[in-house]
Structure 1
Amino acid sequence: MVELFCARFRQEDGFRDLKQRLGWEECRAWTRNPIERTSQAQWVTMSLLRLLQFRLDAAGGADWWSPPPWDRKKERPSVLDVERLLRRHRPEIQRLLSEWLGDEVEAA
């Protein structure tokens, strides 16, 4: 029974993440297609964040993450920690994407 409850909690936790962190609750659509596109894009985004979380954790570099002061017993980073890391590097990511897209436009 406890296993079933924990499995359900993880599913609900995933939906909460989609709603609160990735904007699922802000989707305004009156037909099925936008809802499906938004959901798929958000699930892919969450999956990529999760994959990045596992890869960064496996790489063992602790310089990008440290436990918060209120939870020193926290053993591994979360998806939210990965989001914070990406936000810190946002200007650099935007610059690289802009350069890459600029090269694509010039080649066309």
Structure 2
Amino acid sequence: QSIRDFQHQHGTAEKLLMSFHGIPQPYADKGDPYADQCRETARLVAQALGLEHNQWAISFQSRFGKQEWVKPYTDQLLGEWAQQGVKSVQILSPAFSADCLETLEEL
């Protein structure tokens, strides 16, 4: 409901990006269900908002170190959208229950 309220007040963007904190890819490869749970959460949010598949995406942020993390990466996806001419994006971070460094600075 808070997403609908925000969009009612501020309008909608071309794209809605749901950015989750990432985990190293080896964790997911070993069976950690987190990334799949994030994807399902994003799908359910998009469904509840009545969004078409091309109106939203999921991404993962906050990676560090040299190892591969689950993808797509938030910063790279935003860069791709900019190159494609996307002019407006609303970003939400469903896994962060309160603003923090990742939401205030990174996003």
TM-score class, shorter: under 0.3
Q: Name the one with the larger helix percent.
A: 1
Q: Which has the larger radius of gyration?
A: 1
Q: Which structure has the higher relative contact order (CA within 8 Å, separation 6+)?
A: 2
